[in-house]
Amino acid sequence: MGPPGAGKGTQAGRIAAERGLAHIATGDMLRAAVRDGTPLGLEAKAVMARGDLVSDDLIIAMFRERLGADDTSAGVLLDGFPRTEAQAGALDDMLLGLDRSIAAVVVFDIDEETVVRRLSGRRMCRANDHVYHVESNPPAVEGVCDIDGSELYQRDDDQPDVIRTRFRKQWIEAAAPVIEYYRGRGLVSNLDAAQSREQVSAELDELLDGLGARA
């Protein structure tokens, strides 16, 4: 869990690949639905562009279907879900039904000004949501994804005013009770996400190794 631009997607993609976990990123799933023009995508597009949360009903239904896929059996890394108390409750019910549990909740701590700076320079690839930064992590060829060759673009919600709305509404207001819920269950570890990529990676690896989370 963490505010927009904290580096969740950057780290989650790496960790899932290295540890054989399924990476479920609800933001990536929603952007794919928008690209494909599905009914979910049509409903989510404007909500996402203004920095609000998509409704719990839609997100929970989308997540439930994804969690049922075959690739989740070795373990799952959740990125961007749950973000509300209703989503956390629904996740508990789903896990109970599957006789599975949450190993850890990692909270990425970072201040608002740093995320505004980071997200203003972020670029993502159209095909697979691979993440770049124009200064700190540029692609080899400007505007082209190193991994799949697709076009890089700037997200609609990466404008400074929308970033600030996301930070306040989605992080300060909606996520706080979810974190407290998990903290009360002894699951939360905080991480300083304003450090360099290498420092964040090292701290996160150490934390996960300590949990025996290697699949």
Binding residues (CB under 6 A) for ligand AP5: these are 2, 4-10, 26-27, 30, 47-48, 51-54, 59, 80-81, 83, 87, 118-119, 122, 131-133, 136-137, 157, 166, 170, 196-197, 200
Smallest gap, in angstroms, from Cβ of residue 212 to ligand AP5?
25
Sign of the Cα torsion 180, 181, 184, 190 reads negative
Catalytic residue among 31, 118, 123, 166: 166
In sequence order, the 6+-apart residues with CB closer than 8 A to the CB of 211 are: 103, 104
d(CA 63, CA 94): 10
The verdict on whether 8 is a catalytic residue reads yes
The least CB distance from residue 181 to ligand AP5, in Å, is: 15
Long-range Cβ contact pairs of 28-36 (< 8 A, separation 24 or more):
28/79, 28/129, 29/62, 29/66, 30/54, 30/62, 31/129, 31/155, 33/62, 35/126
Is 183 annotated as catalytic?
no
Look up 117 and say whether it is catalytic: no
Is residue 107 helix, strand or coil? Answer: strand
The closest residue (CB) to ligand AP5 is 27
Nearest CB to ligand AP5, comparing residues 53 and 104: 53
Q: Which ranges constitute the DSSP H helices of 50-189?
A: 56-67, 85-98, 112-120, 160-165, 176-184
Q: Is 19 a catalytic residue?
A: no
To ligand AP5, the closest distance from the beta carbon of 207 in angstroms equals 15
Cβ-based nearer residue to ligand AP5, 105 or 118: 118
Question: What DSSP element (H or E) covers 108?
Answer: strand 105-109
To the query of whether residue 118 is one of the catalytic residues in this protein, the response is no
Given the residues 31, 118, 123, 155, the one annotated as active site: 155
The catalytic residue among 8, 50, 118, 185 is 8
Residues with catalytic roles: 8, 83, 122, 155, 166
